Amino acid sequence: MYSIFSSYIHEEFFNFNTKEFKEEILKIKFKDKGRKVSNYGGWQSNYFVSVEKPFENLFNKINFIVEDIKNKLNINKKLCLINFWHNVNGLGSFNAPHEHGGTVVSGVYYVSIPKNAGSIVFLNKDLDSYYSSIDSYNQYNSSTWKIEPKENTCVLFPSYLQHYVEPNLNKKERISISFNYGF
């Protein structure tokens, strides 16, 4: 048996001091009203298109991973950072199902994650209820795939992959940086 049309998910732990990221994001939140896209109850910054301190080393590392994904997918064009934004989600905040159309690789870097902050959940729109007789689910037969966020971890995935973020059930804020790469 082999898998066709499979999707990659790349999850990697980084070794950054997240305190500086958190302080900068909260500074931006104080000045920026933000925007509402897929977020309910949380704050999402406006888009950024150029990377400045303190995020330069973070995106240098992400660029390296994106280049590896590009090579594995045999893409012959350069993938560049299109945009990124910050997310701060308090108690009860979540993100509705969405995808990142018009780009190739998307991802999220988790800056500050309390317990029960809500997982990112990927949806397989191709699977339906006829899988009701399955004994145990895996990456081949699941209609959803859940990744529990961990501080200082980056998750990259195909931009077309629909996903949502479960509600934060903690009084402490879940803080992350989301991004898109494309041509």
Average pLDDT over residues 18-22: 97
Closest CA to 88 of 167, 13, 29, 163: 29
**Which residues, 6+ apart, have CB-to-CB distance to 181 below 8 Å?**
66, 79, 80, 81, 82, 103, 104, 105, 106
Check the CA dihedral 134-163-41-114 and report its sign. positive
User: What does the DSSP 8-state code read for residue 102?
Assistant: T
Question: What fold, for 10-182?
Answer: Jelly Rolls (2.60.120)
Judge whether 63 and 126 are in contact, CB under 8 Å.
no
C-alpha distances out from residue 170 to 72, 76, 118, 150, 177, Å: 38, 44, 9, 14, 19
Share of the chain above pLDDT 90, in %: 83
Q: Which residue has the higher pLDDT, 98 or 138?
A: 98
Looking at residue 131, what is its pLDDT? 59
Could you read off the pLDDT of 28-66 as tens digits, one per residue?
999 999 999 999 999 999 999 999 999 999 999 999 999
The pLDDT of residue 128 is above 60: no
Average pLDDT over residues 169-177: 98
Global pTM reads 0.93
Looking at residue 104, what is its pLDDT? 97
The pLDDT of residue 130 is above 60: no
CA separation for the pair 148, 70 (Å, rounded): 25
The H or E element that residue 83 is part of is strand 80-89
Looking at residue 36, what is its pLDDT? 92
Q: What are phi and psi of 135, to 5 degrees?
A: -80, -45
